Amino acid sequence: MYLTLEEVAAILHCSRSTLSRKLKQTPIKLRYFVSGKPLVWKYDLVAYMMYHTNYMQLDNDEKALIEKVSKDV
């Protein structure tokens, strides 16, 4: 599932401009689809909050934990 920047800003309790500035310093990639809006993959967001890396760089046990935790986000 993908989240818009507005949804991520609401989850993290920050402004959209602060979020955009902070995302440039993280390994989280913004994805653009047909709508043209920048989107964040939910697993990347949770992985960064827990392990300070993106989801694809985690091992299988860590990925399973991220998937379990992400159900609540």
Question: Between the CA of residue 2 and those of 38, 42, 55, what are the distances in Å?
Answer: 10, 6, 13
Instruction: Give 40-69 pLDDT, tens digit per residue.
Output: 999 999 999 999 999 999 999 999 999 999
Mean pLDDT of 14-43: 92
pLDDT for res 71? 85
Domains of the chain: which residue ranges? 2-70
Determine how β-strand 38-41 pairs with β-strand 2-4. Answer: antiparallel
Structure-token pair, residue 6: 């507005």
- Asked whether 29 and 54 are in contact (CB, 8 A), the reply is yes
pTM of the model: 0.85
- Region 2-70: CATH code: 1.10.10
pLDDT for res 72? 75
Question: Between the CA of residue 32 and those of 29, 39, 41, 66, what are the distances in Å?
Answer: 10, 6, 11, 23
Mean pLDDT of 22-47: 92
